[in-house]
């Protein structure tokens, strides 16, 4: 379950912070060429095959997500004040991502993540 959740999240998160050093996550073939593609910063682009893989990983991880409540609380307690306050916020966030990935998978679409 943990490995599946890690794979799901790693497909959706750009680790940064140095855009010129850290490679963007862009599946090959989604755009004809990355040259001249305007973007304000790093992007994550997952084609339909990657979306299907991420959906599969979520389907494996989701049933055991609640088992992470205690370990998450222990880790989050070591560094209070992070942008995700607790397990409930974390679970809400990953369920939201799963909803997007699941709908994209159902339609045979890819997903694009842009910096905010």
Percent of the chain with pLDDT over 90: 38
Mean pLDDT of all residues in the chain?
Answer: 81
Tens digits of per-residue pLDDT, 33-85?
A: 666 666 656 677 889 999 999 999 999 999 999 999 998 888 776 776 666 77
The three-class DSSP label of residue 62 is helix
Residue 31 has pLDDT above 90, yes or no: no
In the chain, alpha helices (H): 2-10, 48-61, 69-78, 87-107
- Cross-strand partners of 72: none
Confidence of residue 12 (pLDDT cuts 50, 70, 90): confident
Distance between the two ends of the chain, CA-based, in angstroms? 30
Higher pLDDT, 27 or 110: 110
Q: Give dist(CA 28, CA 85) in Å, integer.
A: 36
């Amino acid at each position: 379950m943990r490995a599946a959740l890690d794979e799901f999240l790693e497909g959706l998160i750009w680790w940064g912070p140095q855009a010129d050093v850290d490679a963007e996550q862009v599946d090959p073939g989604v755009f004809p060429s990355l040259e001249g593609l305007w973007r304000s910063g790093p992007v994550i682009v997952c084609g339909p095959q990657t979306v299907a893989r991420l959906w599969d990983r979520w389907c494996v991880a989701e049933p055991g997500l609640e088992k992470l409540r205690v370990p998450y609380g222990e880790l989050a307690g070591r560094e209070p004040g992070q942008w995700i306050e607790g397990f409930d916020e974390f679970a809400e966030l990953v369920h939201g991502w799963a909803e997007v990935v699941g709908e994209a998978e159902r339609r045979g679409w890819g997903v694009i993540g842009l910096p905010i």
